Amino acid sequence: MIKVALRGLLGRKLRTTLTALAIVLGVAMVSGTYILTDTINKGFTTIFTQSYKNTSAVITARSTISNSNSNAALTGGFPASVLTKVRALPDVGAAEGSVNDTAKIVGRNGKTVVTHGAPALAFSVDPHDQRFNPLTLVAGSWPTGSDEVAIDSAVAKKQRYKVGDTIGVIARGPEHHYRVSGIAKFGSVASIGSATMTIFDLQTAQRLFNKEGKFDTIRVASKNGVSDAKLAAEISPVLPAIAQVRTTSAEVKQETTNVGFVGFIQKFLLAFGGVALFVGAFVIFNTLSITVAQRMREFATLRTIGASRRQVLRSVLIEGLITAVIAAGLGLFVGFGLAVGLDRLMSSIGISLPKSATVFATRTVVVSLALGIVITLLASLRPALRATRVPPIAAVREGATLPPGRFAFLGAPLKAIIAALGVALLLYGFFVHHISTAQHLVAMGVGALLLFVGVALISAWLVRPLAAVLGWPATKIGGSAGRLARSNAIRNPGRTASTAAALMIGIALVTFVAVLAAGIRSTVHDTLKETFVGDYAVTSPDGFTPFAPASERALAHLPSVTAVSGERVGDGRAFGKVVQVSGVNGDVAKVIHINWVQGSNSTPAALGSSGAILEKDYAAHRHMRVGQSFTLQTPTGRLLSLVLRGIYKAPKGPPAFGTVIISQQAFDAVYPQPTNIFEFVNIRGGATPANTAALKHALASFPDVKLQTESQFRKNQSRFIDQLLMLLYVLLALSIIISLFGIVNTLVLTVFERTREIGMLRAVGMTRRQTRRMIRHESVITALIGTALGLVLGFFLAFLVTQALKKDGIGFAVPTASIVVFVIAAIIAGLLAAILPARRAARLNVLEALQYE
Amino acid sequence: MSEAFIEREDALPAAGTAVVSAAGVTRRYGEGDTAVEALRGVSLEVQEGQLSAVMGPSGSGKSTLMHILAGLDKPTEGGVKIGGTEITRLSDSELTKLRRKHIGFVFQFFNLLPMLTAEENVLLPLSIAGEKASTKWVNELLDRIGLSDRRTHRPAELSGGQQQRVAIGRALVNRPTIVFADEPTGNLDSKTSEEILTLMRESVDAYGQTMVMVTHDPLAAAIADRILFLDDGLIVKELGHVEAHDVITVMEEFGR
């Protein structure tokens, strides 16, 4: 029987291939995600590990706020005298102090190189002692003296910098120029993503970052035979309060936890892999169901010559299993290519992360194969069970039909129950508040899954009316071929429904994100418009990286400028939680609309060194009233006692400020390296070309900032929505492609099944062209049914989400243009899917088709 | 009652044991006013080693009779025994076991599996039953059906006659108690039909294979040891071995 199954597959190569493809892509998405995120994780781990090569223990400045790579910038280091004390300890073999901070490289276009949120790393290296140096030189030499810098090979390549070139670097204030002494790379890491590196000698770095007499890191090597833990324990007592020591492994572990977002990316991408597999399951289910129906005589014959039901079941399942194994195996390796594609996709929206050599973990193999195989087998279970119900008498009788299964009477109510259960779970997931995030997500996910399955089942009843409406244009355009196409589409409603269902899922999700994005976009747009009332905005070139506040002072000196307000940004700890702190000056209310609950536009100017402003809900939850005081802890551990001076109501969209607002003056006093995230400018005459030119001129020596008019700023700030939307579209396109394979498959099988009928039509005068047209129209009608169902479901899901997010101001907006695009895309997709089957139908030899047994 | 019409002619060969027997079989399709009676009370016995032909015009119930004798369909009333076992009350899995051991089929449209070779098709009943055939028997059988040199061909590479030979091989391979042939020449030209009929006759003679054939072809009926004529759901005449023209004469008696 295994032979029968194997031969059966070989005998139906096209069908098997198309079926397998449905799973290949889903599995590839899963394996590609794992490969990519593993490679990224390994890249990070390698960087962290190699950063401390030959190191037993690491001394760093203590941060009260654990925060990624900007620790050094936030803390400002610890006294260099620590090094002398550490070197004097008995078990210390060697110790070396260094500075690590951030510094932006000015690119060939005169603007700082955009790192897309990745750090612009800067550190000191001892040119004469390579013991602790994680980097290796690719060209030139290590920098020595105050006018030399080494840069990383990736940025050198991208910006075409060579050894000997002059390069601009911005650390704290204005741009400094250096000679490129060398080009370096991180040991064995394939790529550090979009991060950049500048390397100086120690003194230059200390001067550049205002850390004279200070270090950010001391790497300590132990004497032979001394454990890392023992060494750390020995070092700990000699450290001042602002420094801490960790064993190297603890330090690496600590830094690795800071890249937990890779785990999020992994889950995010896996979700799309899951959707692709789900759609693939529909395609497989449908193809196998049709195949089983067409092979009734074969199964019946097997039964007459002694095959048991179990054997028939096994043979169909074995076919499914073999398809699954091949497809999953193939998908596993297609995943390599897809990993590259996913990486490109993320880079295109600015997420570029470090990568080691490609990591192909055992887990990737196991999970991808298991998912592919299990899902295929589940999808083939029902067709296989149907095959067992083929009665032996079907071998001798034309047009025998399958007897209904034992549970057929449950059919109709069961379908409705599945759909209803899905809706109930969705409602639970969206509107019940006291459950955990994981419970929310599971309820929503499973709910959506059940809803899709339920609607797919129910949709068999809807095929007839839908085809009547959606097939109407076909009957007008396609003449008799179109009319036949419409009747063909409703001939087997169950089959049309489940073919359409695969596409329905993709369209529903695309519609869902489109509707949601439209809602978010309009909220963001309204909020930005209401909030930012200045004439001009200054940001870093990418729009969100903090930058040195020097440009703010330069702008303030312009005579025509009536208000400049830079918004400082930093982390702090208040009420036991890490919060974002904003530092503002007295002009802030002139450029940002503040909806005061208590206080007025003159409040910011009167904050002084201890005043603070909080958001209404935040203050209310913490029972804070104006005049009461609270404590803010800075990353260096400084405690700032603040008095609440004003309360404002935040807009529903993106907030203009961090949680705690203090004055710039107070901010600069406690944050060692203050940075701005925005600067807003009012100027006499507003935004005019002349004013733009004047401001640009004033900012010419600040390559780390970008000048925008207020409307450009708004557009740039909402661009991320469109980028995210594009990312989601591309990821969902995979599922839609899979559903197209489903349509191709169904049509190919249908053409095969109707061979005799098509021969008859040709015999009575249907041209090849009309035959093709008939298939094409049927394909488009199927695609449109899937689209119609998908649109409705997508709207429904988006409606639920917007209702749930009402308080966050995300409204329900119909993206008409997008919907029109989807419908057109579906028609094109239907036409594409019909190409192969239509050609097959038109190619049929009339005589042979009629004689076909 | 209705058997009273049966005209027995004493031309049967020396009677062996009955391997298949039917008693008072009726078969009704549908209910109430629209009910159709395909069989209205048929009793018969098939002796071991005998080749019986069931003839009759279309709608006479001959196919239904065969389906019921072979356990493919269940009678409304009456019983059927194969090798002493009452089959009408067997479960699906018991019937499956019965088919493996006792029943072979030859179909009008051959019903070969297109992806298997001729030899694999022949051996399929054994492999399904998890048994192994002796090489000697397989070679002899392939020789008998004349496909020794075509054993690796797929059905699509074989002519209709050759395909039916494969089907006959498949029906014989597990030496079943009885082989049912459903219009075995219905899809073949006259010359090929003759070859197939010769093969069937030879198989009965060589292996003592009991066979029941449903046909409307007088030439086919002429190879039988015994011919049963069905009309309107009843056996109306039974003959021993007769020549084809005599069969035609009998058929004409029914005016069809």
Judging contacts by C-beta atoms under 8 Å, the chain B residues touching residue A298 are 111, 113
Helical packing angle, B160-172 and B190-207, nearest 10°: 20
| Cα–Cα distance, A325 to A333 (Å, whole number) | 13
> For residue A297, what is the nearest residue in chain B, using CA coordinates?
B111
pLDDT value, residue B242: 83
Q: Do B96 and A303 touch (CB under 8 A)?
A: yes
Residue B211 · residue B176 · CB < 8 Å? no
What pLDDT is attached to residue A69? 39
Q: Which residues of chain A have pLDDT under 70?
A: 1, 64-75, 398-410, 850-853
pLDDT at B3: 38
Q: Which residues of B touch A396 (CB under 8 A)?
A: 63, 67, 72, 107-108, 182
Task: Give how far Cα A575 sits from Cα of A572, A604, A623, Å.
Answer: 10, 22, 11
Contact A305 B105 (CB under 8 A): yes
What does DSSP assign to residue A138?
Answer: E
Chain B interface disruption, residue of A4, A301, A396, A406, most B CBs within 10 A:
A396
Instruction: State the DSSP string of B152-216.
Output: T--GGGS-HHHHHHHHHHHHHTT--SEEEEESTTTTS-HHHHHHHHHHHHHHHHHH--EEEEE-S
| Per-residue pLDDT tens digits for A455-507 | 888 888 888 899 988 888 888 888 888 888 888 888 888 889 888 998 999 99
**A432 phi and psi, to 5 degrees?**
-95, 130
Nearest-angstrom CA–CA distance, B209 and A546? 94
Closest residue, chain B, to A392 (C-alpha): B72
Q: How far does the CA of residue A306 sit from the closest CA of chain B (Å)? A: 4
Q: Which candidate from B73, B113, B170 shows the least CB-CB separation from A4? A: B113
First to last CA, chain A: 25
Contact (Cβ atoms closer than 8 angstroms) between residue A549 and residue A568: yes
Q: Do A306 and B100 touch (CB under 8 A)?
A: yes
* Nearest CB partner across the interface for A392, out of B63, B72, B125: B72
Q: Confirm or reject contact between A396 and chain B (CB < 8 A).
A: yes
Residues of chain A found within 8 Å of residue B130, distances taken between Cβ atoms: none
Give the gap in angstroms from C-alpha B10 to the nearest C-alpha of chain A.
33
Chain B residues lying within 8 Å of A302, measured CB to CB: 113, 124, 128
Give contacts of B99 with chain A, Cβ < 8 Å.
303-306, 392
Phi-psi region of A478 (alpha: psi -120 to 50; beta: other; left: phi over 0): alpha
- The sign of the torsion formed by the CA atoms of A527, A533, A539, A545 equals negative
Q: List CB contacts (< 8 A) between A307 and chain B.
A: 96, 128
Taking a C-beta distance cutoff of 8 angstroms, is the pair A294, A749 a contact? yes
Low-confidence winner among A66-70, A347-351, B72-76, B133-137 (lowest mean pLDDT): A66-70
Cross-chain CB nearest to B99 (options A298, A305, A853): A305
pLDDT of A715-741, one tens digit each? 888 888 888 888 889 988 888 898 888
Residues of A in contact with B111 (CB under 8 A): 297-298, 301, 304, 395
Chain B residues touching residue A385 (CB < 8 angstroms): none
Residue A837: closest CA among A6, A5, A18, A191: A18
Which one of B90, B91, B105 makes the best mutation probe of the A interface by having the most chain A beta carbons within 10 Å? B105
From A306, which residue of chain B is nearest by alpha-carbon distance? B100
Contact B99 A853 (CB under 8 A): no
Res. B7: pLDDT tops 70: no
Strand partners, A633: A573, A639
User: How far apart are the C-alpha atoms of A176 and A115, rounded to whole Å?
Assistant: 19
At residue B158, φ and ψ (nearest 5 deg) are: -115, 155
Q: Give buried/exposed letters for A565-588 (b at 16+ CB in 10 A, else e).
A: bbbbbbbbbbeeebbebbbbbbbb
Confidence of residue B224 (pLDDT cuts 50, 70, 90): very high
Rounded to whole angstroms, the Cα distance separating A514 from A508 reads 10
Closest by Cβ to A853, choosing from B99, B109, B115: B109
Contact A383, A289 (CB under 8 A): yes
Contact residues, chain B, for A16 at CB < 8 Å:
none
| Mutate: best of A3, A9, A304, A322, partner B, most B CBs <10 A | A304
Q: Using an 8 Å CB-CB cutoff, list chain B residues near A10.
A: 115
Contact A294/B at CB under 8 A? no
Binary contact (A305, B92; C-beta < 8 A): no
Q: Would the CB atoms of B96 and A395 count as touching at under 8 Å?
A: no
- How long a stretch of residues is chain A? 853
Among A169, A154, A184, CA closest to A106:
A169
A309 and B96 within 8 Å at the Cβ level: the answer is: yes
Q: Do B72 and A309 touch (CB under 8 A)?
A: no
pLDDT at A402: 64
Choose the closest CB to B128 out of A7, A298, A305: A305
Q: Are strands A191-192 and A354-355 parallel, antiparallel or unpaired?
A: antiparallel
Contact B99 A304 (CB under 8 A): yes
CB-CB under 8 Å, B125 with A305 = yes
Of A291, A287, A450, the closest CA to residue A379 belongs to A287
CB-based contact, A83 to chain B, within 8 Å: no
Q: Which of chain B's residues have a Cβ under 8 Å away from the Cβ of A311?
A: 128
Q: Tell me how far apart the alpha carbons of residues B122 and A287 are, in angstroms, rounded to a whole number.
A: 30
Interface size A-B, in CB pairs within 8 Å, comes to 74
| CB contacts, 8 Å: A4 with chain B | 113, 115-116, 124
Backbone angles phi, psi at A161, to 5 degrees: -95, 135
A852 to chain B: nearest residue by CA? B109
pLDDT at A53: 86
Q: Give yes or no for a contact between A537 and A848, defined as CB atoms under 8 angstroms apart.
A: no
Give me the residue from A306, A395, A853 closest to B96, CB to CB: A306
| Partner residue opposite A305 with nearest CB, options B93, B120, B170 | B170
pLDDT of B201 strictly over 90: yes
Which of A8, A302, A308 has its CB closest to that of B93? A308
Closest in B96, B109, B124 to A308, CB measured: B96
Runs of H (alpha helix) within chain B: 62-69, 92-102, 118-129, 135-144, 160-172, 190-207, 218-221, 244-253
The residue in chain A having the minimum alpha-carbon distance to the alpha carbon of residue B121 is A4
Mark which residues 575-604 of A lie under 8 Å from B by CB: none
> For residues B166 and B170, what is the distance between their CA atoms, to the nearest angstrom?
6
Q: What distance in Å separates the CA atoms of residue A286 and residue A19, rounded to the nearest whole number?
A: 9
State the CB neighbour count (10 A cutoff) for residue A553: 11
* Residues comprising chain B, all counted: 256
The answer to whether residues A475 and A256 touch, using CB atoms and an 8 Å cutoff, is no
How far is the alpha carbon of A427 from chain B, nearest alpha carbon, in Å? 46
Q: Confirm if A785 and A470 have CB atoms less than 8 A apart.
A: yes
**Closest residue of chain B to A296, computed from CA coordinates:** B111
Q: Which helix (H) or strand (E) holds B28?
A: strand B18-29
| Contact between chains at B124 and A305 (C-beta distance less than 8 A) | yes
Task: Kindly list the structural domains of chain B, giving each domain's residue range(s) and its CATH number in brackets, ordered by start.
Answer: 2-253 (3.40.50.300)
Handedness of CA A157, A160, A161, A167 (dihedral sign): negative
Burial A808-844, CB ≥16 within 10 A → b, else e: ebbebbebeebbeebbebbbebbebbbebbbebbbeb
C-alpha dihedral sign at A155, A160, A165, A170: negative
Tell me the chain A residues in contact with residue B93 when contact means C-beta distances shorter than 8 Å: 308-309
Distance (Å, whole) CA A567 – CA A581: 10
ipTM: 0.85
pLDDT (tens digit, 9 = 90+) per residue, B18-45?
899 999 999 998 888 888 889 999 999 9
Residues B53-64: pLDDT tens digits?
999 888 888 889
The H or E element that residue A519 is part of is: helix A493-531
Tell me how far apart the terminal alpha carbons of chain B are, to the nearest angstrom: 25
Which carries the bigger pLDDT value, residue B102 or residue A294?
A: B102
